[in-house]
């Protein structure tokens, strides 16, 4: 099997990955790629959605009366 990661040593260490991810996040590349994809693929179309939750929620009309606590005798 010949894959992209042939050996365990091909996997970057946690610190290397963390530094690379921090640079990726700081550069805003992900946001730019996402904006370019939306612009090129979805701009001609109107996209929208509406979500409504019609799940019944049972509730009381009046709050439950609490029984008064008895005070301890001195």
Cα 31 from Cα 36, distance rounded (Å): 9
pLDDT surpasses 70 at 1? no
* Nearest alpha-carbon partner for 20 in 29, 31, 8, 7: 29
Please write the tens of the pLDDT for every residue from 15-52. Answer: 999 999 899 899 999 999 999 988 888 777 777 777 88
Going by pLDDT thresholds of 50, 70 and 90, the confidence category of residue 53 is confident
Return the exposure string of 55-65: e unless at least 16 CB atoms fall within 10 Å of the residue's CB, then b: eeeeeeeeeee
Structural domain spans, the chain: 13-42
Going by pLDDT thresholds of 50, 70 and 90, the confidence category of residue 5 is low
The 3-state DSSP composition of the chain as helix, strand, coil percent (nearest 5) reads 40, 0, 60
């Amino acid at each position: 099997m010949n894959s992209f990661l042939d050996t365990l040593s091909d996997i970057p260490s946690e610190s290397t990955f963390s530094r690379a991810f921090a640079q990726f996040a700081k550069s805003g590349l992900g946001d730019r790629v996402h904006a370019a994809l939306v612009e090129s693929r979805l701009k001609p179309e109107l996209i929208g959605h509406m979500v409504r939750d019609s799940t019944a929620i049972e509730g009381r009309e009046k709050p439950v009366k609490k029984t008064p606590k008895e005070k301890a005798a001195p």
